[in-house]
């Protein structure tokens, strides 16, 4: 339960709160914008608090959007209700209010400084410079539907809950050592088996299905032969690059941009440098004198340090890339001249410059075109907030997509009959669609009757989208998909035959049959598995989870089990447990601390669950099922 609570906080507290609240403190200050929802038609009553229909609908909407990001835009609100998401969301909201009221009763409070610290330390608020990104903040605010006041209150409550549960259960629970050892021996036990894989492709081909069988299979599996819902869309696409192209930028702005990033227009001098390092100053001076008398640098390096020519090079480097001790000497030396010995923490260096690449500074005039693009793009991105509000107002005033396009001097683009993945009728990606993931999510949420929706581009810009038509999902005619139906039915028949053959072989083996003879009878051989454990990915790729479970359910060596094959489509496996290996003491010891923490966490969750149940009795919880049903149909 504790984990559920934390995961809930992560989804709509950490994502929502963290991003929005920085701006609340930094720009507007903390203001109380959270209005009461009233008692009439409330979804639930938790002590002195209530959960209104609007509050519950918004929570549901955020949950659905989170699942769409995980499973794709086709995930619908109806599917969410079928999965019980409305009940899950309500239970989480009730828990939150229980903990907040309990924290208040024992005097736990949250200061503005605590909230502020959490905000300014949140990585999600930081842009490329490591500072708060205003555009990202406002974009998230719009996407999630939060006001800054709501999020301040939610974050404050979340800190209070964390303090409450941490103070009650933070260090109370410890898992007993005997329990830890029993769990580890169970988890780490390994088993090996000899087995036969039954490949359906190697069994006699099944008889061709009759028309009646094909018709029955087609009717029993409509989802496999149903064309997906398709939608036709129209949109206008306003990018930052488009806006930047017509953005007015004066020379003063360009000069300010150049001055503030002047280092990026400087190309430093580079030098190709060779070096030889000596342990003592006397050795270095002797080598320097030998060179002065005419010995070649490479010859001296080979004679004194046994170095090859390729061992001498430091590469082509800037002054900043060299250790400070030798940088000045290296960049003061003349080309092809050897420096006098230079001391560093590594020893005494002789340096030779073999190439000099002069540095240069790009002038303001040379950089003017690039500067204009940078300044114009930044101004265009900053102006998107105002533009979005302008288009919002136009939509609220009843403007159509065509009218908005004319006002913004943008063409209306269209695509017909795409599925939730952006594919056309042939299954190919619709090339005209902007590569913005949120577009498909929005497209399969809007209805043709709805007003246009606005989608923010991650790199700056926005898309105004209208759904023009919906082609509902429909079962394809049998005549159209008969070949697919026959193939699927044949595959299932083959898989059933493999499963039946596995059962027959298993019975003969239990009656004293030989595994090698059974394998030969179906044209295969007996294989020996790698050691496998109960948890995690099995080392034996042929073993499905069902077969792995059957092997670990076996009571003794020699027992015969069957199950699906993982590496052969539709295949089956007959396996004989051949060995059980208990974990050695050293392996158990290495994992004891981690397992102790895991078990303690589970025990803490149980305590938190009991505490929540007690709070429900003390504070009181009532749920209005009819109001919940209405609010869930947002």
CATH code, domain with 309: 3.10.50.40
The number of helix segments (H) and strand segments (E) in the chain equals 23, 20
Contact 69, 441 (CB under 8 A): yes
Q: Is the domain of 571 the same as that of 514?
A: yes
DSSP 40-79: TT-SEEETTEEE-HHHHHHHHHHHHHHHHHHH-TT--HHH
Q: What is the pLDDT of residues 399-430, one digit of tens each?
A: 999 999 999 889 999 999 999 889 988 888 88
Residue 592 lies in a domain: no
Angstrom distances, CA of residue 45 to CA of 4, 52, 89, 97: 21, 9, 15, 10
Contact 115, 6 (CB under 8 A): no
Q: Is the domain of 615 the same as that of 504?
A: no
Q: What is the pLDDT of residues 583-592, one digit of tens each?
A: 888 888 888 8
Q: Is the domain of 309 the same as that of 336?
A: yes
Q: Smallest Cα–Cα separation from 24: which of 138, 160, 130?
A: 138
pLDDT for the residue numbered 145 = 66
Rounded (5°) CA angle 166-170-176 = 155
Q: Give the chain's domain count.
A: 4
Alpha helices for 476-623 (secondary structure H) = 478-510, 515-521, 545-553, 585-619
Q: Smallest Cα–Cα separation from 135: which of 346, 336, 385?
A: 385
Residue 491 lies in a domain: yes
pLDDT for the residue numbered 436 = 86
β-bridge partners, 238: 462
pLDDT for the residue numbered 587 = 83
User: Tokens 């999600």 map to which residue?
Assistant: 124
pLDDT for the residue numbered 108 = 83
Residue 51 lies in a domain: yes
From 472, 487, 505, give the residue that closes a domain: 472
β-bridge partners, 453: 465
Q: Residues 6 or more apart from 492 whose CB is under 8 A from it?
A: 217, 570
pLDDT band at 10 (very low <50, low <70, confident <90, very high): very low
From 328, 358, 388, give the residue that closes a domain: 358
> CA-CA distance, 12 to 63, in Å (whole number)?
8
User: Tokens 């299905």 map to which residue?
Assistant: 209
- Here the CATH number for the domain that contains residue 41 is 1.10.4030
Residue 291 lies in a domain: yes
Q: What is the mean pLDDT of residues 225-254?
A: 86
> CA-CA distance, 397 to 412, in Å (whole number)?
19
> CA-CA distance, 132 to 136, in Å (whole number)?
9
Q: What is the mean pLDDT of residues 263-268?
A: 84
Q: Is the domain of 379 the same as that of 352?
A: no
Least confident of 91-95, 269-273, 455-459: 455-459
β-bridge partners, 423: 429
Q: Is the domain of 87 the same as that of 111?
A: yes
Phi, psi of 15 (to 5 degrees): -75, -50
pLDDT for the residue numbered 301 = 92
> CA-CA distance, 485 to 208, in Å (whole number)?
12
Contact 32, 149 (CB under 8 A): yes
pLDDT band at 432 (very low <50, low <70, confident <90, very high): confident
> CA-CA distance, 457 to 285, in Å (whole number)?
65
From 451, 472, 493, give the residue that closes a domain: 472
pLDDT for the residue numbered 133 = 66
pLDDT for the residue numbered 257 = 78
Contact 161, 100 (CB under 8 A): yes
> CA-CA distance, 167 to 161, in Å (whole number)?
10
pLDDT at 490 over 70: yes
Q: Is the domain of 420 the same as that of 277?
A: no
Greater pLDDT, 596 or 151: 596
User: Tokens 């090079």 map to which residue?
Assistant: 313
Q: Is the domain of 38 the same as that of 14?
A: yes
Alpha helices for 247-367 (secondary structure H) = 251-260, 281-292, 297-305, 324-332
Rounded (5°) CA angle 178-184-189 = 130
Q: Is the domain of 620 the same as that of 556?
A: no
Q: What is the pLDDT of residues 136-194, one digit of tens each?
A: 666 666 666 666 777 677 778 888 888 887 776 665 567 888 888 888 888 889 999 99
Q: Is the domain of 211 the same as that of 163?
A: no
Rounded (5°) CA angle 403-404-408 = 120
Average pLDDT of the chain, as a whole number: 83
Q: What is the pLDDT of residues 315-360, one digit of tens each?
A: 999 998 888 889 999 999 999 999 999 998 888 999 999 999 999 8
Contact 353, 337 (CB under 8 A): yes
% of the chain surpassing 70 pLDDT: 86
Residue 344 lies in a domain: yes
Residue 11 lies in domain: 2-172+604-632
pLDDT for the residue numbered 87 = 87
Residue 185 lies in a domain: no
User: Tokens 């069988």 map to which residue?
Assistant: 213
Q: Count other Cβ atoms within 10 Å, centred on residue 509.
A: 19
Q: Residues 6 or more apart from 403 whose CB is under 8 A from it?
A: 394
Contact 188, 591 (CB under 8 A): yes
Of 67-81, 203-217, 535-549, highest mean pLDDT:
203-217
pLDDT at 57 over 50: yes
Residue 598 lies in a domain: no
In this structure, the dihedral spanned by the alpha carbons of residues 79, 82, 83 and 86, taken in order and rounded to 10 degrees, is 100
Residue 36 lies in a domain: yes
Q: Is the domain of 337 the same as that of 419?
A: no
HEC assignment per residue over 360-421: EECCCCCCHHHHHHHHHHHHHHHHHHHHHHHHHHHHHCCCCHHHHHHHCCCCCEEEEEECCC
Q: What is the mean pLDDT of residues 360-365?
A: 86
> CA-CA distance, 83 to 92, in Å (whole number)?
15
> CA-CA distance, 74 to 422, in Å (whole number)?
11
pLDDT for the residue numbered 27 = 34
Q: What is the pLDDT of residues 275-311, one digit of tens each?
A: 999 999 999 999 999 999 999 999 999 999 999 998 8
Least confident of 53-57, 193-197, 507-511: 53-57
Q: Is the domain of 168 the same as that of 54?
A: yes
User: Tokens 């043709």 map to which residue?
Assistant: 448
Q: Is the domain of 541 the same as that of 401?
A: no
Taking CB atoms within 8 Å and a gap of at least 24, the contacts of 80-83 are 81/632
Contact 43, 90 (CB under 8 A): yes
Q: What is the pLDDT of residues 72-129, one digit of tens each?
A: 666 767 777 778 888 888 998 998 889 888 888 888 888 888 877 777 777 666 666 6
Angstrom distances, CA of residue 548 to CA of 192, 518, 565: 10, 21, 10
% of the chain surpassing 90 pLDDT: 40
pLDDT at 198 over 90: yes
């Amino acid at each position: 339960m504790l984990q559920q609570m934390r995961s809930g906080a992560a989804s709509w507290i950490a994502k929502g709160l963290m991003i929005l609240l920085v701006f609340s403190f930094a720009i507007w200050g903390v203001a109380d914008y959270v209005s009461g929802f009233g008692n009439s038609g409330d979804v639930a009553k938790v002590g002195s608090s209530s959960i209104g229909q609007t509050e519950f609908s918004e929570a549901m909407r955020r949950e659905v959007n989170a699942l769409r990001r995980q499973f794709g835009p086709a995930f619908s609100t109806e599917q969410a209700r079928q999965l019980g998401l409305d009940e899950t969301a309500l239970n989480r909201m009730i828990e939150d209010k229980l903990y907040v009221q309990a924290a208040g009763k024992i005097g736990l409070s949250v200061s503005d400084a605590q909230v502020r610290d959490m905000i300014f330390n949140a990585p999600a608020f930081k842009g490329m410079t490591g500072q708060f990104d205003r555009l990202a903040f406002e974009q998230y605010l719009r996407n999630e539907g939060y006001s800054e006041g709501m999020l301040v209150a939610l974050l404050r409550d979340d800190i209070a809950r964390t303090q409450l549960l941490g103070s009650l259960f933070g260090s109370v629970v410890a898992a007993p050592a005997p329990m830890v050892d029993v769990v580890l021996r169970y988890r780490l036990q390994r088993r090996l088996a000899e087995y036969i894989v039954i490949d359906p492709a190697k069994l006699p081909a099944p008889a061709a299905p009759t028309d009646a069988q094909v018709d029955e299979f087609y009717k029993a599996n409509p989802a496999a032969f149903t064309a997906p819902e398709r939608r036709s869309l129209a949109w206008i696409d306003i990018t930052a690059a488009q806006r930047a192209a017509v953005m007015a930028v004066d020379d003063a702005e360009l000069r300010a941009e150049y001055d503030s990033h002047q280092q990026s227009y400087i190309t430093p001098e580079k030098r190709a440098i060779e070096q030889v390092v000596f342990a003592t100053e006397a050795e270095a001076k002797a080598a320097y004198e030998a060179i002065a008398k005419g010995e070649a640098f490479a010859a001296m390096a080979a004679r004194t340090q046994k170095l090859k020519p390729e061992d001498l090079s430091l590469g082509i480097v800037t002054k900043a890339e060299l250790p400070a001790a030798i940088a000045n000497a290296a960049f003061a030396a003349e080309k092809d001249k050897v420096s006098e010995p230079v001391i560093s923490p590594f020893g005494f260096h002789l340096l030779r410059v073999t190439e000099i690449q002069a540095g240069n500074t790009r002038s303001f005039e040379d950089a003017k075109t690039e500067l204009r693009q940078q300044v114009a793009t930044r101004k265009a991105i900053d102006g998107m907030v105002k533009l979005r509000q302008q288009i919002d107002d136009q939509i609220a005033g009843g403007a159509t997509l065509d009218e908005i396009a004319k006002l913004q001097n943008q063409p209306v683009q269209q695509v017909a009959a795409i599925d939730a993945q952006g594919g056309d009728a042939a299954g190919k990606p619709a090339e005209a669609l902007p590569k913005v993931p949120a577009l498909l999510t929005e497209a399969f949420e809007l209805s043709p009757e709805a007003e246009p929706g606005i989608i923010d581009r991650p790199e700056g810009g926005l898309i105004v989208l209208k759904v023009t038509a919906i082609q509902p999902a429909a079962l394809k005619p049998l005549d159209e998909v008969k070949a697919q139906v026959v193939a699927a039915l044949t595959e299932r028949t083959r898989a059933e035959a493999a499963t039946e053959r596995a059962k027959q072989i298993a019975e003969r083996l239990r009656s004293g049959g030989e595994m090698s003879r059974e394998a030969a009878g179906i044209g295969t051989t007996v294989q020996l598995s790698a050691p496998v454990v109960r948890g995690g990915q099995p080392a034996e790729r042929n073993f499905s989870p069902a077969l792995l479970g059957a092997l670990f359910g076996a009571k003794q060596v020699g027992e015969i089990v069957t199950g699906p094959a993982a590496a052969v489509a539709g295949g089956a496996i007959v396996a004989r447990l051949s060995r059980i290996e208990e974990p050695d003491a050293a392996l158990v010891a290495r994992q004891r601390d981690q397992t102790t923490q895991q078990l303690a966490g589970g025990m803490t969750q149980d305590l938190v669950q009991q505490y929540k149940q007690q709070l429900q009795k003390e504070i009181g919880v009532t749920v209005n099922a009819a109001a919940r049903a209405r609010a869930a149909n947002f």
